[in-house]
Structure 1
Amino acid sequence: MQLTFLGTSSGIPTRSRNVSSIALRLPQRAEVWLFDCGEGTQHQILRSDIRISQITRIFVTHMHGDHIYGLMGLLASCGLAGNPSRIDIYGPPKLDDYLRACGRYSQTHFSYPVKVHTVTPGILYEDDEFVVSCEALTHRVPAFGYRVAEKDRAGRFNVDRATALGIPSGPLYGKLKRGEWVTLPDGRQINGADLCGPTEIGRKFVYCTDTIYCDNAVTLAQDADVLVHEATFSHHDAEMAYQRLHSTSTMAAQVALSAQVQQLVMTHFSPRYAPGNAVDLGDLLAEARAIFPNTVMAHDFMVHDIPRRLREAIASR
């Protein structure tokens, strides 16, 4: 799992930061899942290593323009960039109406299936590898945070040891790799778990924006490997954050601390903190690290790998 930050500004783009979008790359299945799609996102994709033709799912947090104005253009381009078999879009109420209106007035017709799913808190999607869920956040319009949880999988299978035990290759190996018990032709019973390394813990990525500090964000982020959380304002501007229902750097850090995440990545920064101003982004980072030290600040085109953790490593913490 790998994150590519395509836009890290709030509200409006700047010379160095576009508006909101993050790509989650899933190399094991040659897929990209996109989170938010502000204006200009497809141009950002063209400047990155992301392939538009690999986008299969798009998750929209809310209906404000800096999170959706690039969506219709991207969808139109997807049909010209490799004819995807299908794109599933998840988002708040009215997202489907918005896309249908855009298509009607621009006379845009997709050459591939597009399915819009209106989200409600809980599980949105599940397959053999992943579970995606969401929770309602606290903003001026209906907004949702998303959690992508990779399922645990058995550790590396020791083929040499299986061979030494005289286990014939074939269907039995599949069961043993899954940690199941098997009975050999000679009557011996073998526990697959004994032939596998430590369980690989599924990775967890959580994306929360736009929102003020809220309990649902903590619930969603619980034990995440990476929490990407908005930090629109400095703690010095907390009153403005409360008025506009956005987070400060310290609120983002408090969510990370309460949820016991591994790492916090802050994004969605107000342009008011440009270099040379009385308060700049370095101050926001210092504010957050005073509460949650393992914090970094996202920038456009930053690539962040989410590493695997082993069961033994978890137990030793």
Structure 2
Amino acid sequence: MEVIFLGTGAGVPAKERNVTSIALQLLEERASVWLFDCGEATQHQILHTSIRPRRIDKIFITHLHGDHIFGLSGLLGSRSFQGGETPVTVYGPSGIKDYLTISLKTSSTRLKYDLHIHEIDEGLIYEDEQFHVTAGKLEHGITSYGYRIVEKDLPGALLVDELKARGIPPGPIYQQIKKGLTIELENGDIIDGKQFIGPSQKGRIITVLGDTRSNEKSVELGKNADLLIHEATFGGAEEELAYNYFHSTSYEAAEIAKKANVKALMLTHISSRYQGSSSEVLVNEAREIFDNTYMAHDFLSYPIPKLSRGMKG
């Protein structure tokens, strides 16, 4: 599980930051990539990474402002040319279906794969045997969602050494024991498979918020997350400006992280007024409230291992 930031700017592209898009690589978990927002030139940003567009099978749109969706129809079209044949599902606010249907039809873009579009509301929007995703409405000028991605707890490891100590050599029987079944051995002994499975591993949680003012829904979505991705369009001194434009400051993002008891906070959606080292002001402000804060930049990779956390980039 790895988060790759494809665009970390706010409003319009800047020299250092493209507009918003975040990829969640789930290659080990399910050999796929989930995309959160798709601003203009996202597919160009992808060319500078190891991401393969044909592996993108879910796209979650936070809201319908252009800096979060203007790259979507282009990416979907290019995916066809690049060998993508498996279905793609797009989740987003009301209006996303019209936007995609009209833009693809008007441009005569024909996809070689099935495209499913779900206009969502708050609550559970996706679940399978590995993950569930919930959405919550934030506070922005238009409908804007945050997404909470929860990995279900992973089964514990098979206690191979204990099995060998009982005289049970490796073989097909290990798969049955791994399932926790009760097994009768060749010598007539009965063993309970559950006794040979270690403790389950806690699933990981990632929260990706759309544009928003500071609000309690963000705390709810971020509760105990391994990583909270929160906008910090403005610095702490511009709280009134942030409020008027339905955005958040670095201080407000840190307060949300603290209240939600997250493990790490990543600041993104940074105004173009913060170029170069001036963006460090934002992360330093946030660390006054929440120490484990990082500043996202385009192409930053943040892996989230099963048992620990780390960053590279």
TM-score scaled by length of structure 1: 0.92
| Distance across 1 between alignment mates of 2:4 and 2:276 | 24
Aligned equivalent of 2:244? 243
* 207-216 vs 154-163, which moves further: 154-163
- Larger mean CA deviation between 81-90 and 290-299 belongs to 81-90
Counterparts of 2:61 and 2:42 in 1: how far apart (Å)? 13
After superposition, where does 1:1-317 map in structure 2 within 5 Å?
A: 1-28=1-28, 29-167=30-168, 172-178=173-179, 180=180, 182-185=182-185, 186-192=188-194, 194-275=195-276, 280-309=278-307
Mapped to 2, the partners of 1:132 and 1:172 lie a distance apart of: 35
* SS across alignment from 2:161: helix
Q: Provide closer, same or farther for how the CA distance between residues 123 and 171 of structure 1 changes in structure 2, counting only shifts above 3 A.
A: farther
CA displacement 1:202-250 (0-9 Å, x = unmatched): 1111101200111111001111000011000101000001101101001
Residue 282 of structure 2 aligns with an amino acid whose one-letter code is L
CA deviation after TM superposition for structure 1 residue 197, in Å: 3.1
1:314 maps to what in 2? none
Report the more deviating stretch, 35-44 or 163-172: 163-172
Q: TM-score, normalised by structure 2?
A: 0.93
**Structure 1 residue 49, shift from structure 2 partner:** 1.1
Percent identity between the two aligned chains: 44
Which whole-Å CA distance do the structure 2 matches of 1:275 and 1:85 have between them? Answer: 40
Supply the distance in 2 between the matched residues of 1:172 and 1:133 (Cα, whole angstroms): 38
Distance 1:57 1:84 in 2: 14
Contact 1:167 1:184 in 2 (8 A): no
Shift of residue 171 of structure 1? 6.1
Letter in 1 for 2:74: G
Q: 1:282 to 1:83 in 2, by over 3 A?
A: closer
RMSD: 1.6
Instruction: Give the Cα–Cα distance (whole angstroms) in 1 for the partners of residues 147 and 176 of structure 2.
Output: 33
Q: Is contact 1:172–1:182 with CA below 8 Å preserved after alignment?
A: no
Q: State the shift of 1:121 in Å.
A: 1.0
Q: Which amino acid aligns with 1:173?
A: Y
Number of residue pairs matched by the alignment? 305
| Counterpart Cα distance in 2 of 1:100 and 1:131 | 27
Structure 1 stretches lacking a partner, 5+ long: 311-317
